[in-house]
Amino acid sequence: MCLGMACALLTACVSGSALRLDTHTVGNVRHAAALTQGIAAQGATRAGVSILVQYAPVMLALMQSHNAVGELEERLAACAIQAEERGNSLFFQGRPPTREECKEEELDQDECGRPITRAMRLGQQKHVLALECARKVLDELWSAPYSIEQRYRFYLHARLVETLSPEKEASIIAKGCTEELRGTIKPDLVLHADRNLLKAALILDFKFPCPDTNPPRWTPYGNSSPYAGKNQGEVYKAALGGETLLISPRGFVGQP
């Protein structure tokens, strides 16, 4: 049905030269296209082309089945699509936000007094939904330990990594704007091969670009960061080992 809707809307766009699509209709076109891409990616997985196996061959050794890896990939990708749909439904009556809406600043500020944009707030909400879904998937399909939003302190030059407990993190954040979290990392999902929680078999981050026409990408670190010149995925891999992949409503994206 989604494929049909995308075709119908796109046909209307090109067949009527005098027809102008309103924002809601354009949003529906984009939404249908995203769903079409997701469906195509899932079909490719079922046909035996697994992105997880391509980028992280260790997954096949750990799960011992192409079908098992493919199911994990499909269901995590579905979590991103579901979070995108639910988030847009909650805040934009089911349509994706426009570029202008993504740039809008809200009344809230973060702990350092910086304004929070609509894109930031929407991304936060979609992350909550996606991680809730991912937890259920991993509980069912991943037999080894995994971590969700675990914060690590990583000393790049010493190649030393340590965990920061949720209690310690909350205590630091409660103090307001602080430098104590500088140099820490917080991947969305870390899949471990065994009980060594400082090593990763695979590291995954959900990304929800705003607007949805923007490609998903790893966030680069600024000049003031100890990781200047690198992006999140590169630092995650250096800290924890294992391959890094993004999950967006468009599907999985490997490290360039």
3-class SS string, the chain: CHHHHHHHHHHHHHHCCCCCCCHHHHHHHHHHHHHHHHHHHHHHHHCCCCHHHHHCCHHHHHHCCHHHHHHHHHHHHHHHHHHHHHHHHHHHCCCCCCHHHHHCEEEEECCCCCEEEHHHHHHHHHHHHHHHHHHHHHHHHCCCCEEECCEEEEECCCCEEEEECHHHHHHHHHCCCCCCCCCEECCCEEECCCCCCCCCCEEEEECCCCCCCCCCCCCECCCCCCCCCCEHHHHHHHHHCCEEEEEECCEEEECC
Distance, in Å, from the CA atom of 138 to the CA atom of 62, rounded to the nearest integer, reads 14
Domain ranges of the chain: 2-254
pLDDT value of position 33: 42
pLDDT value of position 254: 81
pLDDT in tens, 98-133: 999 998 877 577 666 677 888 888 999 999 999 999
Question: pTM for the complete prediction?
Answer: 0.78
Residue 3, token pair as written in the block: 């494929």
pLDDT value of position 178: 74
pLDDT value of position 176: 77
Cβ density class 226-248: b for 16+ within 10 Å, e for less: ebeebbbbbbbbbbbbbbbbbbb
Which portions of the chain are predicted below pLDDT 50?
Answer: 1-47
Q: Which residue, among 134, 225, 122, 143, has the nearest Cα to 187 in the 3D structure?
A: 134
pLDDT value of position 107: 58
pLDDT value of position 16: 36
| 147 beta partners | 190
Distance, in Å, from the CA atom of 47 to the CA atom of 63, rounded to the nearest integer, reads 18
